[in-house]
C-alpha cells in the first residue's frame, strides 16, 4: 500500500538551450570549493529529459525536471512509516504503544527544528536552499496539509491500540467513567497534585502567561457568579507528574482529567464552565556565533536558556475546543490558525511510553540478549576477555545490538582504563547515556594518571546540557577536554588507546557508526571496527591532532575524513563505478545510510544509473533521490527498513571491477555531514569482516517483512504488498538468529593476517 497523500515535491529546474539539463552536482559543489570544502570533480552530471518524470507524479507540470524529493516531506514520510508500525497488529501490542510514543516524539522534534527553520526562512523571504525547492511558505503549506492527514491516521491508530489494550486487560478510562474512584482521586489530587499547580488568570491585570515548549496545559473558561463575567485561565500540567494515574491494576486515568475535575479547589467561589487541553511547540534550533564567543561552553549554556523562549511554531488543541477559546490561545502564543492543529482523543502520545514499561511479557517482543563475539568470549567465568589480544589477532568488526556493546566497545575502554601498560586514551563523545560507564572509565583512567583526552561535542542538539555536565566532570578528574573546531560539529565515532608492549608502543583504535552510548546501543543498529593496524592508528592520532591542536592536515593514509576529503572521495568512487560500467566492467554501488540529501551526490548517482551501474540504496529516513525515473534513475532501488531497531549504521560498498571494497563510518550523504561536520569513514579490509557486512546487507536487500520501497511515483510502498506473497525475511529476526548461531560455532584459532609491531612513527 503506497503512502497516501501523493508524492513529495519534485524539484524543478529550467532547461538549457539543448533541451536536457545538466545535473546539480557541479554547480553546488563548485560553489563550495571556494570556501575550503572540496569540489565535486566537476565532471559529475545527470541528464534529465523533459519526458522523464512519470505522468501524474509531479505536483506541477514543468518542461523538464531534476528529480529531487523535498527533504521535509521525505522526513514526514519516514515518520509515517514509523506510524505504520503502531497500526500493524503483527507487532506485539506494547511495541505498537511504543511506536505511537516514538512517532509523537519524532513529530515534536520535526516542528522544533525543521518547521521552525522554514518559518524563519519564510519570514526572511530567503531563497530556497535545495535545488528547485519551493519558497519556504509553499513548503510550509504542503507540510501542514500532510501533517493534518497524519494526525487523522495517528488518532485512528491510537483508538485501535486503545481497544486492543482494553481487550488485553490494560485500559485508559475517562475520569467520568470511574465514579467509584473519585473520592480516592480527589485525595490524591490534594496530596500529590494540588501543591505543584499554579493557576494563571488572563485579564487586564494578568497578561497572557508564557507557555513553555511541549508542556501540556488546561485552558479554562471561568464565570464569576457575582457579576456573570467570563474569564480565561490556564493551568500547566507539570511534567514531573506521571501522565497516567493507575487506579486499579493496569487501569489508568489521565492526570489532566483528574486536574480538570478538581479545579474548584484552584478557583474557589468561581464557576468552571469548560476546560480543554492544549500544547505549544517552540523553535528549539539556534545558531551560535562561535567566532564571537569568548567561552564556547558559556555561550552554549546561554543559548540553552534562550531556547526555552523560542517562537511558537505549533499549537495543538483538543478537537472539542470552541473557536473563541482557540482564538485566545492563537493570539496569546503568537501563531495563526494555519499553525493550530486539532487532535482527537489523547493529546501528546509521548506519555504512552509509560505503558510500554508494564510487566506484560506476553505483549512484548521476546527478549533478546546480545551475544558476546566469539573472539571476545571470556576464557572462564572469573577472568574477563583480553580485548587487546583479540584485536592483535586481526581486525574485529562488531554489530550492535546483535553483539554486545558492553562486551566489546565498552570493554575496550574499561580494560584500557585499568591496564597499567596503557599510557593514553583519546575519544570523541557526541551523545552518551546519562549514567555512562564509558565516561566513568575515562574518569577512572585520568585519576590513575593516564593521559585522557576527550573531545566532547557540546553542540549535539538536545544533548548539550548532558554533555556540558560530563565535560566538567572529566575536567575535574584531570582529563584534557576540548570542544572541537569552530564552525564544525565533531560527529565522528573514534577512540584511540596507546599501549606499551615490550620495547614498543602499539596503537589500538575503534572507529564506528554509532555513539558511545550503552543505552542506544541496545536500540540502534551500528557497526564498529576494532583494529591495531599501524596506518589506522597513525590516522586516528593525526585526526585527534586536528581536533585538539592547530593541525590543518587534509589527507590521511586510510581514513576518509570530512570536511577535508570525504566529499571528493564519495564522488570519485561513484565516478569510478560509472566509468567501469561504461567500459563494460562489473559495477555496483550499495549505500546504507540514514539520509541521502546532498544534491551533488544525488546527481552523481543519477549519472551512474544512466551509465548502467546497479545502485542499491538502503536509506532509513530522508531520501531526496527519486528512483525509477526513465533514462535517469531506472537502475536505482531505494529501500527503507523500519522495525524493532533503529537502523543507524552507515555502509559504503563499491564493486570495483570485481574487487569489492567496503567502508563504514559516521557520515550520511547530507551537506551538513560532508561540509560542516567532522566525520570519519574507514575501509573494512579484513576478509572475515567484509563477509560479515556483505551478509547483513544481503539480508536487508532481501527483507520483505520490514522493508518499504520508494517507487517511481515518489511514494513508499510495502515490499510485501509489491510482491503479493507472504513475507519470509524479517531483518531483525534473521540477524538475531544468525548472531545466536555464531556463538554456537567453536571460535577459530587466533590469527594475525596483518599484524605489525606497532609504532608511533607518523610515517607508518
Is residue 412 within 8 A of residue 390, CB to CB? The reply is no
Report the SS3 class of residue 625. Answer: strand
The CA distance from 72 to 318, in Å, is 26
Catalytic hit among 79, 181, 491, 580: 491
**606 to 349, 615, 651: CA distances (angstroms):** 40, 9, 19
Q: What is the DSSP string of 187-226?
A: HHIIIIIGGG--EEEEBTTBPPPP--TT-EEEEEEEE-TT
Q: How many residues does the chain have?
A: 764
**738 to 312, 401, 640, 670, 741: CA distances (angstroms):** 48, 13, 21, 32, 5
For residue 549, the cross-strand partners are none
Report the SS3 class of residue 358. Answer: coil
Residue 422 corresponds to which cell in the numbers above?
Answer: 596503557
- Strands (DSSP E) along 21-138, which ranges? 65-69
Residue 242 corresponds to which cell in the numbers above?
Answer: 506521571
Per the annotation, the verdict on 79 as an active-site residue is: no
Q: What is the DSSP string of 480-507?
A: EEE---TT-EE--EEEEEEEEETTEEEE
Report the SS3 class of residue 157. Answer: helix
Query: What are the residues whose beta carbons fall under 8 Å from the beta carbon of 96, sequence distance 6 or more?
Result: 85, 86, 87, 88, 89, 157, 161, 164
Angle of helix 296-307 versus helix 464-476 axis, rounded to 10? 150
Q: List the one residue out of 18, 38, 14 whose CA is nearest residue 28.
A: 38
**Residues that are catalytic:** 491
Amino acid at each position: 500500500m503506497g503512502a497516501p497523500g501523493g508524492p513529495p515535491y519534485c524539484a524543478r529546474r529550467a532547461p538549457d538551450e539543448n533541451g536536457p539539463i545538466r545535473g546539480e552536482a557541479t554547480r553546488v559543489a563548485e560553489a563550495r570549493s571556494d570556501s575550503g570544502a572540496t569540489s565535486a570533480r566537476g565532471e559529475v552530471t545527470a541528464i534529465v529529459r523533459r519526458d522523464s518524470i512519470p505522468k501524474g507524479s509531479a505536483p506541477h507540470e514543468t518542461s523538464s525536471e531534476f528529480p529531487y524529493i523535498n527533504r521535509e516531506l521525505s522526513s514526514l514520510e519516514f515518520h509515517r512509516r514509523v506510524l505504520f508500525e503502531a497500526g500493524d497488529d503483527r507487532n506485539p501490542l506494547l511495541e505498537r504503544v511504543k511506536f505511537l510514543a516514538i512517532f509523537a516524539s519524532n513529530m515534536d522534534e520535526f516542528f522544533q527544528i525543521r518547521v521552525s527553520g522554514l518559518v524563519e526562512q519564510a519570514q526572511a523571504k530567503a531563497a530556497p536552499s535545495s535545488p528547485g525547492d519551493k519558497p519556504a511558505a509553499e513548503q510550509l503549506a504542503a507540510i501542514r496539509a500532510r501533517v493534518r492527514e497524519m494526525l487523522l491516521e495517528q488518532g485512528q491508530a491510537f483508538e485501535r491500540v486503545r481497544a486492543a489494550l482494553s481487550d488485553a486487560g490494560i485500559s485508559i478510562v475517562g475520569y467520568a467513567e470511574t465514579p467509584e474512584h473519585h473520592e480516592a482521586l480527589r485525595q490524591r489530587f490534594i496530596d500529590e497534585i494540588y501543591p505543584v499547580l499554579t493557576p494563571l488568570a488572563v485579564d487586564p491585570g494578568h497578561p497572557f502567561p508564557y507557555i513553555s515548549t511541549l508542556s501540556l496545559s488546561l485552558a479554562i473558561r471561568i464565570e464569576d457568579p457575582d457579576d456573570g463575567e467570563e474569564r480565561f485561565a490556564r493551568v500547566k500540567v507539570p511534567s514531573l507528574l506521571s501522565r497516567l494515574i493507575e487506579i486499579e491494576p493496569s487501569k489508568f486515568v489521565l492526570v489532566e482529567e483528574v486536574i480538570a475535575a478538581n479545579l474548584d479547589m484552584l478557583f474557589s467561589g468561581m464557576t468552571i464552565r469548560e476546560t480543554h487541553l492544549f500544547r505549544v511547540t517552540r523553535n528549539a534550533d539556534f545558531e551560535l556565533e562561535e567566532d564571537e564567543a569568548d567561552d564556547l561552553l558559556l555561550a552554549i549554556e546561554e543559548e540553552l536558556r534562550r531556547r526555552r523562549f523560542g517562537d511558537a511554531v505549533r499549537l495543538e488543541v483538543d478537537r472539542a475546543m470552541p473557536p473563541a477559546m482557540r482564538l485566545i490561545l492563537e493570539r496569546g502564543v503568537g501563531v495563526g490558525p494555519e499553525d493550530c492543529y486539532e487532535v482527537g482523543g489523547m493529546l501528546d502520545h509521548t506519555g504512552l511510553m509509560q505503558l510500554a514499561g508494564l510487566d506484560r511479557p506476553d505483549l512484548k517482543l521476546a527478549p533478546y540478549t546480545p551475544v558476546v563475539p566469539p573472539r571476545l568470549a571470556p576464557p572462564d567465568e572469573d577472568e574477563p576477555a583480553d580485548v587487546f589480544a583479540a584485536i592483535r589477532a586481526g581486525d574485529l568488526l562488531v554489530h550492535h545490538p546483535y553483539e554486545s556493546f558492553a562486551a566489546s566497545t565498552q570493554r575496550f575502554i574499561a580494560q584500557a582504563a585499568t591496564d597499567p601498560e596503557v599510557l593514553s586514551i583519546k575519544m570523541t563523545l557526541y551523545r552518551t547515556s546519562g549514567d555512562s560507564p564509558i565516561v566513568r572509565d575515562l574518569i577512572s583512567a585520568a585519576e590513575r594518571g593516564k593521559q585522557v583526552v576527550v573531545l566532547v561535542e557540546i553542540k549535539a542538539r538536545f544533548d548539550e546540557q548532558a554533555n556540558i555536565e560530563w565535560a566538567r566532570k572529566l575536567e575535574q578528574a584531570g582529563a584534557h577536554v576540548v570542544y572541537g573546531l569552530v564552525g564544525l560539529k565533531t560527529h565522528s565515532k573514534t577512540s584511540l588507546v596507546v599501549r606499551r608492549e615490550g620495547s614498543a608502543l602499539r596503537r589500538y583504535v575503534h572507529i564506528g557508526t554509532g555513539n558511545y552510548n550503552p543505552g542506544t546501543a541496545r536500540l540502534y543498529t551500528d557497526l564498529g571496527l576494532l583494529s591495531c593496524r599501524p596506518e589506522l592508528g597513525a590516522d586516528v592520532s593525526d585526526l585527534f591532532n586536528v581536533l585538539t591542536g592547530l593541525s590543518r592536515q587534509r589527507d590521511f593514509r586510510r581514513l576518509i575524513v570530512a570536511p577535508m576529503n570525504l566529499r571528493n572521495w564519495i564522488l570519485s568512487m561513484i565516478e569510478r563505478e560509472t566509468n567501469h560500467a561504461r567500459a563494460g566492467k562489473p559495477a555496483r554501488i550499495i549505500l546504507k545510510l540514514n539520509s541521502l540529501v546532498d544534491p551533488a551526490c544525488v546527481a552523481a548517482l543519477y549519472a551512474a544509473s544512466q551509465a548502467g551501474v546497479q545502485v542499491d540504496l538502503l536509506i532509513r529516513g530522508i531520501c531526496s533521490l527519486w528512483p525509477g525515473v526513465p533514462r535517469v534513475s531506472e537502475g536505482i532501488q531505494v529501500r527503507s527498513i523500519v522495525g524493532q531497531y533503529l537502523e543507524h549504521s552507515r555502509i559504503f560498498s563499491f564493486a570495483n571491477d570485481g574487487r569489492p571494497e567496503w567502508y563504514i563510518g559516521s557520515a550520511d550523504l547530507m551537506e551538513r555531514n560532508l561540509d560542516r561536520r567532522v566525520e570519519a569513514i574507514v575501509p573494512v579490509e579484513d576478509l572475515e569482516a567484509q563477509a560479515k557486512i556483505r551478509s547483513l546487507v544481503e539480508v536487508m536487500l532481501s527483507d520483505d517483512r520490514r522493508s518499504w520501497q520508494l517507487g517511481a511515483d515518489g511514494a513508499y510502498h510495502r515490499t510485501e504488498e509489491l510482491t503479493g506473497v507472504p513475507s519470509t525475511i524479517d531483518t531483525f529476526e534473521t540477524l538475531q538468529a544468525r548472531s545466536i548461531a555464531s556463538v554456537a560455532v567453536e571460535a577459530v584459532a587466533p590469527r594475525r593476517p596483518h599484524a605489525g609491531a606497532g609504532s608511533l612513527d607518523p610515517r607508518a
